[in-house]
Amino acid sequence: MHFKNKVVWITGASSGIGKELALQLAQQGAILILTGTNVETLTAIKSELKNARTHILNYNLLDIDGIPNLVDKAILLEGHLDYVIQSAGQSQRAMAEETDIIVYKKLMDLNFFAPVAITQSLLPYFKKQGHGNICVISSIAGLIGFPLRSGYAASKHAIKGYLETLQCELFKTNIHVSIVYPGRINTNISKNALAGDGQQFGNTDENSDAGMSVSVCCTKIISGLKKNQKAIYILKAERLLFWFWWFIPSLYYKIAHAKGVR
Ligand SMILES: NC(=O)c1ccc[n+]([C@@H]2O[C@H](COP(=O)([O-])OP(=O)(O)OC[C@H]3O[C@@H](n4cnc5c(N)ncnc54)[C@H](OP(=O)(O)O)[C@@H]3O)[C@@H](O)[C@H]2O)c1
């Protein structure tokens, strides 16, 4: 089995996509390192994963300066690391002009600077080890803009640019970089999103409710990882939106405005 005894570090493991990846990878024999800020939830997940070797490495990824030290700790837990899957992230539900600059900074820190800092610290280690897999959960908002997500889309576009550049630079190495582009997945992403003033948005919007189940999403991510896919698209109806954006942009902007602007 591909993931049997592989050491997989998952950020954002306390909820949604990260949590479900942990559950599915545990069934496939992976050794897990789970990161999030909510220790109680991480502990509950660890007890759910009875038969899997699991470590908890709680951390607030907004503390970017401490990330090199965090990476060292992650490697030391099992003495080596095969995969990092960076799912920690936060969305936004506010019109651009109503979004405080602090919110933009927070979204960039969590969705861009934190995964960059983790990746930068891991690269020398993976190079020395001779192999390694880096996966970051971006979003369809990393491909096209959508109302109420100006800062979120900017951060996800930014991480795409960084990782695609790495994919070119690492082409001749045994270090694989996968970028995941989910559309709407049924998780707490909208509840946990930031409002314009930095408060938690607190509502599940219809986009999340109509989303793909998180278990189907994660099965597709794992299947893409097994093939070292550089881009893993997890899209349903959003595929059509993307098609409109590419071929009939005026139609895309009309639909996005009608669907997204409140
Ligand atoms: N659901 C979707 O529709 C969707 C679509 C496209 C892309 N995505 C992306 O998928 C990833 C996972 O989202 P999700 O849907 O699973 O959302 P979620 O259920 O809200 O989970 C978010 C995770 O991020 C962690 N996190 C948030 N702030 C953190 C911080 N400061 N430090 C450390 N961990 C932090 C949370 O852990 P704690 O609560 O323990 O801090 C939680 O485990 C995100 O990157 C998101 O942008 C989701």
Report whether residue 188 contacts ligand 1, using a CB cutoff of 6 Å.
yes
CA gap 236, 145 in Å, rounded: 17
Whether ligand 1 lies within 6 angstroms of the CB of 58 is answered as no
pLDDT tens, position by position, 80-135:
999 999 999 999 999 999 999 999 999 999 999 999 999 999 999 999 999 999 99
Query: Residues 33-42: what's their mean pLDDT?
Result: 98
Q: Beta partners for 19?
A: none
Percentage of the chain modeled with pLDDT above 90 = 95
- Nearest atom, ligand 1, residue 186 CA: 1
180 bridge partner residues: 137, 232
The pLDDT tens digits for 131-140 are 999 999 999 9
Over residues 251-259, the mean pLDDT reads 96
Which residue type, as a one-letter code, is found at position 3?
A: F
The fold adopted by the segment(s) 7-260 is Rossmann fold (3.40.50)
pLDDT of residue 204: 85
The upper half-sphere exposure of residue 193, i.e. CA atoms within 13 Å in the direction of its Cβ, equals 24
Q: Which residues are designated catalytic?
A: 152
Question: 207: pLDDT confidence band, cut at 50, 70 and 90?
Answer: low
